[in-house]
Structure 1
Amino acid sequence: MSYFSSNFKLGILGGGQLGKMLLYETRKWDIYTRVMDASEVAPCRIACNEFVLGNLMDFDDVYSFGKEVDVLTIEIENVNVDALEKLEAEGVKVYPPTKALRTIQNKAKQKLFYVDHGIPTAPFSRFAYASEIKDSLENGGLDFPFVWKSAQFGYDGQGVKIVRKIEDLEGLPPGECIAEDMIPFKNELAVIVARSVNGERTTYPVVEMEFHPEANQVEYVICPARIDAKVAEKAQEVALKVSEEIQHVGLLAVEMFQTQEDEILVNEVAPRPHNSGHYSIEASYTNQFEQHIRAILDLPLGNTRSKVAGIMVNLVGAEGHTGDVAYENMDQVLRMEGVTPHIYGKRQTRPFRKMGHVTIVNENISKAREIAQHVKETINVISK
């Protein structure tokens, strides 16, 4: 099939920043795109060929949208999988495949999948209702501290809470969830695996992630990770095993813990371009967004090596600010060598909302990290 300057249509469910960055690549290759999102001001709207307003969780909206495209992909996991399954049965190519997406959408199913397939992960308990956690604590089935995770619909630090005492259970959503052992880890790592329709696979270098202690969001992504080569090799091996077992198509971001004993435990995965791969736009031979397009269209996968060390800084809304967004000190950031801001196109800010990111490239990883800190301390995402 001809994809370039042709009648081929690529559908993308979700119109946020990940979709917007995917569209950089489709526009580069003149691939026709159709995007659906529930927001009239979604970042994708300005860059796709067709924009459709619709509810990603509604069967009819997703099914009707998918009938008009040749290949359908996602930029967010929270979509109606029943509709995707019907589209798949009717011949629409859906990537990631619905079987993989069903497993990944639900964190409890995800964890059980790891156990069933011999993939190392932190011990956990599964609960149909959050109210069952208190009973488990009282009967000795669970001990403090642990990490509570909503089984579905969590993202960007939402749906995750460290529970240290009984009072921390107050206000938790009532639905299905897991309680996971807290791991005294050295580092939080991630590996992005690309897998094409024909099964060709490749991995990006291991990255190291530094998180905001309150928001549970990634603040910095550092590539390459500052870890021993043997640990990096083990992390890539584990990521490839997850990829092979789950049989995704496209990108799979595998988030992991490096324990004090240098074991690798899988935390969770995302079947799409991911925050941990944004550095690749400036630092890699083939950025993650182009790679996703290559994989789902069964084109040869690109070179995943880095040209230079890269660090990504997330730009999130400042605490105490809600409303029309303003970016303070952007001129100062633009004067810094090797620094590239990316603004996502969200007009409204709120505390910890992802509004953009900044990539820092430098031959020296320590220098890059130093500049990244300066960027973080300089730019402010506030309301007008």
Structure 2
Amino acid sequence: MAKQISELKLGILGGGQLGRMLIQEAVNYNVSTLILDPDPDAPCKNLANYFECGSITDFDTVYNFGKKADLITIEIEKVNIEALEQLEKEGKLVFPQSRVIRLIQDKGIQKQFFKENDIPTSPFQLVNGKAELVNVNFPFPYMLKQRRDGYDGKGVMKIENLYDVENAFEGPCLMEELVDFEKEIAVIVSRNSNGDVKTFPMVEMEFNAEANLVEFLISPSTYPADVQERAEKIACQIASALNITGLLAVEMFITKNGDILVNELAPRPHNSGHHTIEGNFVSQFEQHLRAICNLPLGDTRSRSNAVMINLLGEKGHDGVAKYQGLEKIMAIDGVYVHLYGKKYTKPFRKMGHVTIVDQNREHAIEKANFVKQTLKVIS
């Protein structure tokens, strides 16, 4: 890279909590950050060197914003690809590359990529709309996912019978065999332009069944070393096949018979890596910066056991956010609170996260359960 990292203007499409935590890391390298987000009160607004309120899906807005930066990255996949492609043609660095974002924007194309590259995943079928569901030969129950724009549990539904078919999504969808899994896991892999690759240790996740969001994450995993090695090998295989520059979160299932199946990808910092800020020698956010700037990748080893809890808005609360129980949990050693700067809460909205670190795994889990029961986001 012609410029040193401290001379760069980094453009970030999206100004939510991921962008906010990326900025917090960029400050350490004196990187100037430019943010584009449609929300005038986005969490990044007061942290970025330059903030622009505008659409990240509009060609002209993204293109003109990108021209202001030396290097462009994303914190959400729902961006205007055509604008990024044009910027790349004009010599701008875009990481992850626009072709990678295009592939991952469409869950159907993503699944076909798995199949073509011998990456283990659940059986699937693509349909153009719910009218086709009546005639397909696919056993109940199955999962139905909208091919585009689904996130944080949205755009996903379980189809158990013909009645559910009648209430299914309209438009192009992906049908997936329902996986009888033992555990949901994730591996974050980083890759720079030189082709250097490093993985963070595999983590185990527990989901909020009602919101379909990660609620509880434990690192490092206690699965046998051979299972963790298989998961990390799959993540590296995908990063290599994509030829990606940046960070890639690979969400997977461990089935009850010991198979590992890839569920979905995210080409950016991810919820399954928040614990790395306190729990690992390098955080996912610093690693993303290192990767996209083609610098040596950092030490991904765990410092200690870490448990991450997503702080979600409570049911029945919609309004200005208040944090109940904050002082109680801050009195506990090893508890680190991250609030995302969102003024308003609503049910299941991601308002922050808490990481608990402890050399004793069981103690970390006990503290995490106390935090989960004590800290509430209300209005």
Same fold (TM over 0.5): yes
**Cα displacement (A) at 1:130:** 2.7
The residue matched to 2:311 in structure 1 has which SS? strand
One-letter identity of the residue aligned with 2:84: L
CA contact (8 A) 1:3 1:31 kept: no
Query: Quick check: 2:144–2:176 contact (8 Å CA) kept in 1?
Result: yes
- Pairwise mapping of residues 4-153 of structure 1 onto structure 2 (< 5 A)? 4-6=5-7, 8-136=8-136, 141-153=137-149
**Alignment-mate amino acid for residue 124 of structure 2:** F
- Return the alpha-carbon distance in structure 2 between the equivalents of residues 272 and 4 of structure 1: 19
Deviations along 1:199-218, one digit per CA (max 9) or x if unpaired, are 11000000000001111110
Aligned residue identity for 1:113: F
1:38-57 deviation line (CA, Å, top 9, x unaligned): 00000011111000111011
Pair 1:193-2:189 in alignment: yes
Any residues of structure 2 matched to 1:114-263 within 5 Å, and which? 114-136=114-136, 141-263=137-259
Give runs of ≥4 in structure 1 deviating > 4 Å. Answer: none
**Residue 261 of structure 2: aligned partner:** 265
> Unaligned 5+ residue runs, structure 2?
none
Q: Please give the secondary structure, in 1, of the residue aligned with 2:321.
A: strand
Q: Distance in 1 between matches of 2:284 and 2:54?
A: 27
For residues 230-258 of structure 1, what are the alpha-carbon distances to aligned partners after superposition, in whole Å with 9 as ceiling and x for unaligned? 11111011111111111111100000011
SS at match of 1:157: coil
Give how far 1:226 is off.
2.4
Deviations 1:2-30 (A, max 9, x none): 33543x31100000000000001111111
CA RMSD of aligned residues (A): 1.1
Query: Is the CA contact (8 Å cut-off) linking 1:150 and 1:159 kept in structure 2?
Result: yes
For residues 26 and 139 of structure 2, the distance between their equivalents in structure 1, rounded to whole angstroms, comes to 49
Aligned pair 1:2/2:3, yes or no? yes
For residues 28 and 56 of structure 2, what CA distance do their matches in structure 1 show?
27
1:313·1:376 contact (CA, 8 Å) conserved in 2? Answer: yes
- The number of aligned residues is 378
How far is 1:371 from its partner?
A: 1.1
Contact 2:130 2:166 in 1 (8 A): no
Tell me the distance in 1 between the aligned counterparts of 2:149 and 2:290. Answer: 28
In structure 1, C-alpha distance between the alignment counterparts of 2:245 and 2:169, rounded to whole Å? 32
TM-score of the superposed pair, with normalisation by structure 2 = 0.98
Distance 1:41 1:223 in 2: 33
CA distance in 2, matches of 1:64, 1:260: 50
Q: Deviations over 1:152-171 (max 9, x none)?
A: 11111111111222333454
Provide TM-score, normalisation by structure 1: 0.97
Counterpart Cα distance in 2 of 1:9 and 1:3: 11
In structure 2, the residue corresponding to 1:96 is in which secondary structure? coil
Gaps of 5+ in 1: none
